[in-house]
Amino acid sequence: MLKRESRLFMAALLVLACLGISACGQMQTKQELTEADIAALEQRVRERWQTLIDKDFAEAWEYASPNYRAVVPKNMFRHNFSYTLDWQLTGIEVVAYDADAAVASVTVRVMSKPVKQTSISAQFGAVPATIREKWVSIDGEWWHSTNG
């Protein structure tokens, strides 16, 4: 019969071996985004930005993650935006994906200009901006994440 310490050591090795096999299994099954996944994500991004372009900020709230919507009411969310700018969506690109967290980084390119042109703003025209957004996949649906 093995001594108690030897049995504990063997049990610890067995646990570590199982954890190693589990971790290896996860690494092998880690999936990347398919073209269909990317297309679905880009469509969600495009739809959300269309609500912002239309200044339908209450509808834009519907694209926020369920956790965010549970904390921030729709009427408070609307105050995060300005009615003084017009936006034009010029590009969307999925630039990174963390399969473990089910989070995608998306670069959104927009042009913005004031709703009411002034003599100064007319000199500059529309201003380009690149915005980095995070989108999280929950049960197969993409949601805009307001966390950094």
109 neighbors 90 (Cβ within 8 angstroms)? yes
What digits encode the pLDDT tens for the residues 82-106? Answer: 888 899 999 999 999 999 999 999 9
What's the half-sphere exposure (Cβ side, CA atoms, 13 Å) at 88?
10
> What does each C-alpha distance from 73 to 54, 64, 80, 119, 141 come to in angstroms?
20, 11, 12, 38, 21
Give me the residue spans of the domains in the chain. Answer: 32-145
What digits encode the pLDDT tens for the residues 40-86? Answer: 999 999 999 999 999 999 999 999 999 999 999 999 998 888 888 89
Q: Which CATH number fits domain 32-145: 3.40.50.300, 3.40.50.2300, 3.40.640.10, 3.10.450.100?
A: 3.10.450.100
Q: What is the DSSP string of 10-24?
A: HHHHHHHHHHHHHHH
Q: What letter does residue 30 receive in the DSSP assignment?
A: -
